[in-house]
Amino acid sequence: MKREKLTIAVSGLNNTDNPGPGVPVIRGLRESTHFEPRILGLAYENMEPGAYMEGVADKTYLIPYPSNGMEPLLARLEEIHRRDKIDVLIPNFDSELLPLIKAENRLTAMGIRTFLPTIGQYDERLKSNLPEFGKKYDLSVPGSHTVSSALEIPGICRELSGPWMIKGKFYDAVLAHNVEQAIAAFYRISAQWGLPVVVQQYISGTEVNVVAVGDGKGNTIGAVPMRKMFVTDKGKAWSGITIADKYLLDLTKRIISNTFWRGGMELEMIRSSDNKYYLVEINPRIPAWVYLAVAAGQNLPEAIVHLAMGMNPEPFTAFEAGKMFIRYSYDMIVDVNTHQSFAFNGEK
């Protein structure tokens, strides 16, 4: 069967110890049996490893951070699109998602397709809105408060029993065992990621996550749960294993059905020792461990491209439980000219 040629732009090439999902998304796209992708990597920094890795991006462009304003980012995407027609864009950074969701009509007018959550879906699952989300959809969530000043922390620590996770609005989470640690974490995280910061009750248990894709009509196109087996000091999974957890799968389907979720998502859950499940976070994008789902039988990045192209992919009905991933680090050797040329010209 002749595969359709598609040009797909993917960000999140920062394959560091806290990796973005770009490289595993691209690995999934390259394994598509339906289309032949030409991959345009979009990098915010000239040192993002994915830009230099063999067999990942066919071409990589530097793009400006959304924090520099939406117009420069859109202008850059428009310029890239003029030279290298983009069929589908898969953004993978939390901080670029909202601006790109807001710019969906402009992107569509340019001819660039995306398949992202709506603004309502994005806002509803924000860490700061998690208690209301839990109440609305009948989910157990840890107690939490949003804070904008360190002065609020002692009162919150009296109200919620500790320890607490102090979380940035996009990234980062620090475990605090007393008020002093909570305040120190507040200052560090707010300096890096801005305000507000979330103080969330820590739930002890096994970390289980689900990667899933919703079609925006309430249907789950695919879902694969994973138990973290080894985590880094940042709490990121360094290895994990797919699990056939029926409760998690049913819960995922219920959330997607109730919210009419559109696009990729990651549910971060804790399973306590008495087998209760707590939802601690919903990420509105594919996570960095998505290639495990691909290897287990669900090519979710491919499904997102199909959805973006207006096709109706068949929902996945199975995956292989007991598949593991183990991350590794690897020193690539790069010629300084390659790096300088990329930094200077903004493309490679």
Partner 1 sequence: MSIHIKSGLRISDQGLVFDPSTGESFTLNPTGLILLRLMIGCNDENEIFRILNQDYELSRLEFDRYLLDFLAVLKSMQILENEA
Torsion (CA) 243, 247, 252, 257 in degrees, nearest 10: 150
Burial 271-299 (b: 16+ CB within 10 A, else e): beeeeebbbbbbbbbbbbbbbbbbbbebb
The Cβ-side half-sphere exposure at 295, using a 13 Å CA radius, reads 16
**What's the gap between Cα 162 and its chain centre?**
28
Per CB under 8 A, the list member of 105, 204, 275, 317 interacting with partner 1 is: 275
Shortest Å, Cβ 295 to partner 1: 15
321 binds partner 1 (CB under 8 A): yes
DSSP of 187-239: HHHHHHH-S-EEEEE---SEEEEEEEEEESSS-EEEEEEEEEEEE-TTS-EEE
Assess 229 for contact with partner 1 (CB under 8 A): yes
Among 88, 174, 241, 305, binds partner 1 (CB under 8 A): 241
The stretch among 140-148, 156-164, 242-250, 329-337 that binds partner 1 (CB under 8 A) is: 242-250
Member of 48, 87, 96, 245 binding partner 1 (CB under 8 A): 245
The piece of 48-56, 100-108, 128-136, 223-231 that touches partner 1 (CB under 8 A) is: 223-231
Is residue 292 near partner 1 by the rule CB under 8 A? no
Is position 128 an interface residue for partner 1 (rule: CB under 8 A)? no
Residue 322 Cβ, how far from partner 1 at the closest point, in Å? 5
Q: CB 87 → partner 1: shortest distance, Å?
A: 37
CB 49 within 8 A of CB 18: no
Residue of 18, 118, 206, 257 that binds partner 1 (CB under 8 A): 206
Does 295 interact with partner 1 (rule: CB under 8 A)? no
Angstrom distance (rounded) from CA 237 to CA 6: 31
Residue 243 touches partner 1, criterion: CB under 8 A = yes
Compute the distance between CA of residue 105 and CA of residue 10 in angstroms, rounded to an integer. Answer: 19
Per DSSP, 18 falls in state S
The distance of closest approach from Cβ of residue 192 to partner 1 in the complex, given in angstroms and rounded to an integer, is 32
CB of 205 to partner 1, least distance (A): 11
Instruction: Please work out the total of residues on this chain that contact partner 1, with binding judged by CB under 8 A.
Output: 15
Picking from 211, 232, 244, 212, the residue whose alpha carbon sits closest to that of residue 322 is 244
Determine how β-strand 277-283 pairs with β-strand 262-271.
antiparallel
Q: Do residues 116 and 100 touch, judged by C-beta distance below 8 A?
A: yes
Neighbouring C-beta atoms of residue 34, cutoff 10 Å:
16
If the CB atoms of residues 318 and 343 are measured against partner 1, the closer one turns out to be 318
Q: Does 242 bind partner 1 (CB under 8 A)?
A: yes
Q: Which is nearer to partner 1, 319 or 342 (CB)?
A: 319
Among 244, 311, 318, 326, interactor with partner 1 by CB under 8 A:
244
Q: How far is the CB of 242 from partner 1 (least distance, A)?
A: 8
The side-by-side arrangement of strands in the sheet containing 88-90 is 59-62, 35-43, 4-11, 88-90
- Closest to partner 1 by CB, 208 vs 307, is 208
Rounded to a whole number of angstroms, the minimum distance from the CB of residue 320 to partner 1 is: 9
To partner 1, the closest distance from the beta carbon of 269 in angstroms equals 13
Task: Specify the length of the chain in residues.
Answer: 348
246 touches partner 1 (CB under 8 A): yes
Given 233, 322, 332, 336, the residue binding partner 1 (CB under 8 A): 322
Instruction: Name which of 128 and 206 has its Cβ closer to partner 1.
Output: 206
Consecutive H or E run containing 70: helix 70-83
What residue ranges bind partner 1 (CB under 8 A)?
Answer: 206, 208, 226-227, 229, 241-246, 271, 275, 321-322
